[in-house]
Every structure is written in C-alpha cells, then in structure tokens.
Amino acid sequence: MAKQILKYSLIIFTVALGFLSWLSIGRAVNNPSSSDWIIPIIWFSLFFVFICLDAVIIKETYIEKLVLAVSFLLSFIFVHSGWHLLAVLLGLLFIFLAFEKINKDLELNIKISLWKTLRTGRAMIVLGLALMISSQYYLEVRNTNVEEMIPQFEIGSFTGKLTTSFLSKINPQFKSLDDEGMTVDEMIIEMQKNQLGDNSLDSDKKVGESFKEQLSDDVTEEEKNRLMKEFFSGSSGEGGEMSEAVTESREAMLGEVREQFSEIAGRELKGDEKVSEVLSEIINKKIDNYISPTLADEKQSAIIPMIIAIIIFITVVSLGSVLSLMGVAIAMLIFQIFVWFKLISIVNVPAEKEIIE
C-alpha cells in the first residue's frame, strides 16, 4: 500500500512541477528581468529531480511516459500554437530515450548505482527540457513588441562592489566609503584626488593654484594645505563647515564634472545618486541605442525572438549540464530516504550472466 501511495505521489508531484515550470517561463517572459529567471531555474531543477525519480521508481514504462506526456502538454495552457506540438514531441522523444537508457542500465547492473544510472540519461532529459523552454519562450514573445525583449541590466550592488574594488586599487582612501555604495560626487572627488596626487607637494601647489581666484595673495602654504583637506573631505576637519571659498571651488568643480556625467546618463544628476545605479542606466541606454536601429527593420526585428530563443536553448543546455549533476545527487538523496523509511526495497536476486572464457 505504501508503495502505491509513493507511486501516485510521484505522479502528482511530477505533473504539478511541470505545470509550475511552464507557468514560471510565462511569468519570466512577461517580466523580462535577469532576476526573474531564477524562479524557472528552481522549478525546472525540481522537475528534473522528479523525472529522475519516476525513471527509477515507477516500474510501468507506460505510466512513466503518460505522466511526462501530460506534464509537457500542460504547456499548451500558456502557448496557443500548433508549432509547439513539434517541440513537445521532440522533447518527449529525448526523455523517452533517457528512460530507455536508465532502465537498460538498471537491468545490466549487478549492484545498483543510481549515480551512474541517472547520469546515463541526464543529458537527454536536459535536451528535452531545453527544447520545451526555448519553444515556449519563442512562441510567447514572437508577437510582442521587440523592444520589451531587450534585457534591462539591474547591476546594482554587484556593480557597486566591482567599482569599489577597482577604485580602491587606484586610491586606498576609497575603502572608507559607505558600504551602501559610492555616490556620484564621491566618485568625482576620488577621481580628482587621483589626478592631483594625494598628499604630495605638487598636489598642494596645484590645489593652491586652483584657489588663487578665490583666495587673497597672502595665503600661506599651510593655509593652502588646510584648504585642500577641506576641499576633499567636505568639512573643516574640526566638525565645522567649509570656508566659503572652498565651498564655491568645490561646487564649481563638482558641477562641471557632474554635468558631463549627466550628458552620458541622459538625465540631470544631483550628485547623491549611487554610481551603480547611474552605470546601470548608462548600460541600458547604450543597449537601447544599439538595438533600436535594428528594430526599425521589420524583417530583422522578426528574427530577434528566434535568435534569443536559440541563445536560451544553448544557455539551458550548458547550465543544465552542471545543474543536472546536482539534480542527480538530490534524486539519490530522496531515493535513499525512501529506502530508509522502507517505502522502497532493494533485494538481491539470482541472475545469469554471460562471460567470455
């Protein structure tokens, strides 16, 4: 009785995970963002695990194939095209071939080794799922506005860390900035520090020259050094405010460089924006400017969904070759748990074997 309950539970979970996998693809297509594809990866990984469990636990071959056929046909809820049937048939063919290889290996084994057995069919399973994913993606987006398919890069904290790592090599003082990220004005000051040279005599002279128009001629070298520190630190060093001359000079320099960054970003920058956010906007703007001329050509824009679908297929196959090993390991763990709870039995039976003498 327990074995029957286990078998029907596997069937229900496999069909449910198939549905959730196709649903996650539909949501990822409608919300094109790099992070939205994490959910499909999770669902398809679980789907892969239960396909592996079905292959080794369900003895009736026709039930295995029927369960996979139903799971794949559920994708038609989200894709209303006859062409998708071709992908379903090809996908099922690859997975049925995987089942044949797995079952054949189980029959030939003298001692059960799920790691070896499931690895014989994992490539075929990944290939079948990759065909389904790329087909659903292409058929869902082919009639949508191509501009919506252009990926938008939310590089946020990653870019902030990357920028921090890069600039810290130029100026060690950058390490003292907030963990939340560098602002535009802070980056400009750091760049200016690097150009002038931190505490060198030449730096002092250059800063002193930059203040000549604001300062009187009798300003001493010591005073110039103090003003330079105010200029870069944004305070008098004693918790007070900067002198008017330093404030004006600082704001003039920041405003000039900030204006240049504003032209690149395509919007006015106030200086308190995070560098990572500005870089993200610049990258997306460059991508839009690069792809927009192509979108104007209807023939070329019609090919873009197909090109992206091919890229997704190659990506899924490449990523699946790695994640499938983890899926096999998880399937083995679940299988072992079933054995511990005596839902599955492993018995020894006599078998004849041909040898060459």
Of residues 129 and 108, the one with the higher pLDDT is: 129
Whether the predicted pLDDT of 234 surpasses 90: no
CA distance 13 to 19: 10
Per-residue pLDDT averaged across 192-196, rounded?
Answer: 59
Fill in the amino acid letter for 3. K
Of residues 279 and 257, the one with the higher pLDDT is: 257
Q: What local confidence, expressed as pLDDT, does residue 151 receive?
A: 46
Q: Where are the alpha helices (DSSP H) in 216-355?
A: 221-233, 244-265, 275-295, 298-340
Mean pLDDT score of the chain, rounded to an integer? 77
φ, ψ of residue 179 to 5 degrees: the values are -70, -25
pLDDT digits (tens, 9 = 90+) for 94-115: 999 999 999 999 988 888 899 9
Whether the predicted pLDDT of 41 surpasses 80: yes
Q: Do residues 258 and 271 touch, judged by C-beta distance below 8 A?
A: yes
Q: Specify the range with the lowest mean pLDDT, choosing from 47-61, 169-183, 300-314.
A: 169-183
Confidence of residue 205 (pLDDT cuts 50, 70, 90): very low
What's the whole-model pTM score?
Answer: 0.62
Whether the predicted pLDDT of 260 surpasses 60: yes
Dig out the tokens for 126 from the structure: 């990944």
Per-residue pLDDT averaged across 289-315, rounded?
Answer: 70
| Rg of the chain over all Cα atoms, to the nearest angstrom | 31
CA distance 231 to 243: 9
Percent of the chain with pLDDT over 90: 37
pLDDT digits (tens, 9 = 90+) for 210-227: 544 455 555 566 665 666
Q: Do residues 140 and 84 touch, judged by C-beta distance below 8 A?
A: no
Please identify which residue in the block is written with the tokens 């950058």. Answer: 174
CA distance 204 to 237: 17
Of residues 276 and 54, the one with the higher pLDDT is: 54
Q: Do residues 196 and 170 touch, judged by C-beta distance below 8 A?
A: no
